């Protein structure tokens, strides 16, 4: 029995993601929450002949609480997407508050659920969820995930394109580490299960790295003001959710890259920290999954000089993004504790 919940379920990602979760035979209950349209989305999905019982909720009448009751896995694609010319960090102002409020709902109603954060900027929204959970005394770093799967999916597809065989893309695995924005997205092409052609020029290699790092911009530009990646994200989100659900159901040997707290690792990510040469509270690396969430965070291992340079270039922005997310919540709680300012 697995109850999956989508927060932001009526959106561009939320609807196709809910569809894919409804199609997952391991999901037996599907809770859909959004500030609009969830009754319609739920009624529509409920006619699909798969096991999941679907319910849609709006904020009225404790809808968030009802959606989250008994949740095993909560996926969060709630929030605004980018328009051309914006960075993911430009979304912080609006999305930080949305994610904080939803995280508070999870912390109070479904504190044991696995939480998969899609809302951007992921490098900051995941720390926001962590701080909310810490405040409520329910933080389990092994159960919190930033969804970076779309970067992995793009890397597989773009490498398959270069190899001239798209049908290979489902087998191609390229670890993508770091975070989820621009230079913080670090594809480790030397570790691809399918090596790039030896004849690939340095210019083409660099263009491939850039395309993986800025794949989101390609979609934002093509949608021309109508949002960012939704369908590919729903696919990626459902793939990652399915891995978490399979691991929770006892399947062994499941792993995937994800932006996770280093505290989730039994050794606190000590090897990874040594490799990075700097302490970071969160980093995306390949994580091994088990019934209780993260079992181990794999270190990066041997890298080419070009990859070492990419990792180095990612760290300052990543550290700033993480701090921004954590401070946002810490400051709010501090102000609440201090009470209203005296006149």
CA distances from 45 to 19, 33, 58, 67 (A): 7, 14, 16, 16
Residue of minimal Cβ distance to ligand LMR = 216
**Residue 249 marked as a ligand binder:** no
Contact 117, 125 (CB under 8 A): yes
Smallest gap from residue 70 Cβ to ligand LMR (A): 30
Q: If binding is defined by CB under 6 A, does position 220 make contact with ligand NAD?
A: no
* Residue 7, contacted partner among ligand NAD, ligand LMR, none, CB below 5-8 A by kind: ligand NAD
* 209: helix, strand or coil: helix
Distance CA 265, CA 104 (A): 24
Q: Which of residues 195-224 bind ligand LMR (CB under 6 A)?
A: 216, 219-220
Number of H-type helices and E-type strands within the chain: 11, 11
Kindly state whether residue 227 participates in binding ligand NAD, applying the rule CB under 6 A.
yes
Cβ-based neighbour number of residue 127 at 10 Å: 28
By C-beta, is 91 or 299 nearer to ligand NAD?
A: 91
Q: Under a CB-based contact definition with an 8 Å cutoff, are residues 243 and 26 in contact?
A: no
| 75: contact with ligand NAD by CB under 6 A | no
In sequence order, the β-bridge partners of residue 282 are: 261
Nearer Cβ to ligand LMR (155/280):
155
Q: Is 118 in the site for ligand NAD (CB under 6 A)?
A: yes
Judge whether 180 counts as a catalytic residue: yes
Dihedral sign from CA coordinates of 298, 304, 309, 313: negative
Q: Of 32, 42, 78, 318, which lies in the binding site for ligand NAD, with binding defined by CB under 6 A?
A: 78
Q: Could you write out the DSSP letters of every residue in 240-265?
A: HHHHHHHHHTT--SEEEEEEEEGGGS
What residue 30 binds from ligand NAD, ligand LMR, none (CB within 5 to 8 A, per partner kind)? none
Q: Measured between alpha carbons, how far is 46 from 145 in angstroms, rounded to an integer?
A: 28
230 counts as binding ligand NAD under rule CB under 6 A: yes
Q: Which is nearer to ligand LMR, 139 or 283 (CB)?
A: 283
DSSP 128: H
User: 86-105: which residues touch ligand NAD (CB under 6 A)?
Assistant: 91, 95, 98, 101-102
Task: Please report, as residue ranges, which positions from 276 to 315 form the binding site for ligand NAD (by CB under 6 A).
Answer: none
Chain-centroid distance of CA 292 in Å reads: 18
Q: Does 132 bind ligand NAD (CB under 6 A)?
A: no
Catalytic residue set: 180
Binding site for ligand LMR (CB under 6 A): 81-82, 88, 120, 150, 216, 219-220, 228-229
């Amino acid at each position: 029995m697995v109850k999956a919940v989508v927060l932001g379920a009526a959106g561009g990602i939320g609807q196709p993601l809910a569809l894919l979760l409804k199609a997952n035979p391991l999901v037996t209950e599907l809770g859909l929450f959004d500030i609009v349209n969830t009754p319609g989305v739920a009624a529509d999905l409920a006619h699909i002949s798969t096991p999941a019982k679907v319910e849609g909720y709006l904020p009225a009448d404790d809808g968030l609480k009802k959606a989250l009751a008994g949740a095993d896995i909560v996926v969060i694609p709630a929030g605004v997407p980018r328009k051309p010319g914006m960075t993911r960090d430009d979304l912080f102002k609006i999305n930080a508050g949305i994610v904080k409020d939803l995280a508070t709902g999870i912390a109070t109603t479904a504190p044991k659920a696995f939480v998969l954060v899609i809302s951007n900027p992921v490098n900051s929204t995941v720390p926001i969820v962590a701080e909310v959970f810490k405040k409520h005394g329910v933080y389990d770093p092994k159960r919190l995930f930033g969804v970076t799967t779309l970067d992995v999916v793009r890397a597989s597809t773009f490498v398959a394109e270069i190899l001239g065989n798209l049908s290979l893309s489902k087998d191609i695995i390229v670890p993508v580490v770091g975070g989820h924005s621009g230079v913080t997205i670090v594809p480790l092409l030397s570790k691809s299960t399918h090596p790039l052609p030896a004849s690939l020029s340095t210019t083409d290699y660099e263009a491939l790295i850039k395309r993986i790092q800025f794949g989101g911009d390609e979609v934002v530009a093509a949608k021309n003001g109508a949002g960012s990646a939704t369908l590919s994200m729903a696919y990626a989100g459902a793939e990652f959710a399915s891995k978490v659900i399979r691991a929770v159901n006892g399947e062994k040997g499941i792993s995937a890259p994800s932006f996770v707290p280093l505290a989730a690792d039994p050794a606190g990510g000590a090897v990874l920290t040594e490799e990075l040469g700097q302490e970071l509270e969160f980093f995306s690396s390949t994580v091994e999954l088990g019934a209780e969430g993260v079992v181990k965070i794999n270190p990066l291992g041997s890298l080419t000089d070009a990859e070492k340079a990419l990792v180095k270039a990612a760290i300052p922005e990543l550290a700033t993004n993480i701090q921004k997310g954590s401070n946002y919540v810490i400051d709010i709680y501090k102000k609440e504790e201090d009470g209203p300012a005296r006149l």
